Every structure is written in structure tokens, then in C-alpha cells.
Amino acid sequence: MKVLLIEDEAKISSYVAKAFTRAGHTVNAITDGQAGLITATSDPYDVIILDLGLPGRDGLEILSAIRGRSISTPVLILTARGDVKDRITGLNRGADDYLAKPFSMEELLARVNVLTRRKGEDASPLLRVGDLVMNETTHTVTRDGKTVHLSQREYEVLHFLMLNAGRTVTRMDICEHVWKSVLANDTNAVDVYIQRLRVKVDEDFPEKLIQTVRGTGYVMGAAEK
């Protein structure tokens, strides 16, 4: 994939660029906010990795300008601003994901792969995890060919889990991407919706797809045998 990296810290920029290059991707590294905005709005990219504290123009300004021009390129914010307010602001401005510094390169690569794997002219509207199939166009869900009837919120939680299949997501992750908040009562609501989904998605099948990661959150995928 073609990656635009807008990051002014030289060590981090070099670290990320080298890792993505080794993974077979093309990286254009920009260190100035204004230059980053010009590049992001003039050339097509598969994903943009965006720092917030940039010289020339702040990352949130860049994000707002990108979305204001109807550019739908996935944007992952990579920044030292790890406060909840900053994360919510970034997501509300149009970011697709948020990773705070310091970070794991393995996690960054995985998150970017999630954001980009279904992009492209031949992308299918179908998400599959085992025999569970979700159609993102019609918002229909089936398991082993049988329709699974979901409320809108149940669909949104399941959609997020399926997008991140194989990766552990925390209750906070789900709140930020589905409820757009990280309030304590919302994290409790996550457990309620997970239980509802287990009844509808897993209860009648021997293979359980929604797994609990003790003390962390949940992961979508068949249990290891």
C-alpha cells in the first residue's frame, strides 16, 4: 500500500518508515504540517498516519481539512496526546483510529492493515469470520446461512469486532468507535451488548466466535484448538 506519514519527530518517522518499507509498502514521510496537508489533498494514498503536534499546521487542522474536502482515505492518528479528550476529538474530526505514543510497531502495522484491507476497486461488502457473514451494504448478518436479527447498536458493536477480527479490542476501544465516548456507564453497556450478541451469534453453535480476553476486552474469531 501507499502510506503518507506526517510526523515531525525524526527518530519516529524513520522508525515507522523503515518498518512499513520492510513490510513491502511505499512510504512518503513529511515532517511539516502545511506540506503534509498539501500532499494529502493532492495525491492519492491508501492510508495516512498523522501526528498532531506538527510545525506549520496542527494535525487536527489537517484532519478537518482532509475530511472537509470529502477525502475518505483512512487516517490513523499517532501522537503523544493520549488523553481521552484528545482521542475523542480526533475521532470526531474524522480519524479512523488512534494510537498513543509510545506504541508497538506490530500493533501499528496491524491497525493500518485493518483500516486498508478492504479498500480498493474490487473490495467486497462482505465481512467473514468463520461461517458468520456481514454485508456492509445491506446491513444483513447470517451465521451458517441463517439470518441473525440485530438492533442497530448490536450491529455496530458486531461490525467493529469483525473489522478487528483476530485482534483484541478493549471496552474503551468499542466505546470510542461505537458510542463515541469512554464514559464508565458505556463500558458497562459494552458487556451488555456483548452478551446479547453471544445469544444471537454464538448460542446455537458449538464454535463460539466472540471470545473474552480476561482483564482486557474481547476478540472476534474461532477459539484456538
Residue 203, C-beta contacts closer than 8 angstroms, at least 6 positions apart: none
Q: What is the pLDDT of residue 224?
A: 42
Q: What is the pLDDT of residue 67?
A: 87
Q: What is the pLDDT of residue 182?
A: 59
Q: Which residues of the chain have pLDDT under 70?
A: 82, 118-124, 181-186, 222-225
Structural domain boundaries in the chain: 2-116, 126-220
Distance from chain centroid for Cα 26: 20
- Please answer whether residues 222 and 205 qualify as being in contact, where contact means their C-beta atoms are separated by less than 8 angstroms: no
Percentage of the chain with pLDDT > 70?
A: 91
Q: What is the pLDDT of residue 223?
A: 43
Q: What is the pLDDT of residue 183?
A: 60
The predicted-structure confidence for 102-134, as pLDDT tens digits, reads as follows: 888 988 998 898 888 755 544 567 788 888 999
Q: What is the pLDDT of residue 122?
A: 44
CATH for 126-220, among 3.40.50.2300, 3.40.50.970, 3.40.50.720, 1.10.10.10? 1.10.10.10
Looking at domain 2-116, its CATH architecture is 3-Layer(aba) Sandwich (3.40)
DSSP labels for the chain? -EEEEE---HHHHHHHHHHHHHTT-EEEEE--HHHHHHHHHHS--SEEEE-SS-SSS-HHHHHHHHHHTT----EEEEES--SHHHHHHHHHTT-SEEEESS--HHHHHHHHHHHHTT-STT--SEEEETTEEEETTTTEEEETTEE----HHHHHHHHHHHHTTTS-EEHHHHIIIIISS--HHHHHHHHHHHHHHIIIIITTSSS--EEEETTTEEEESPPP-
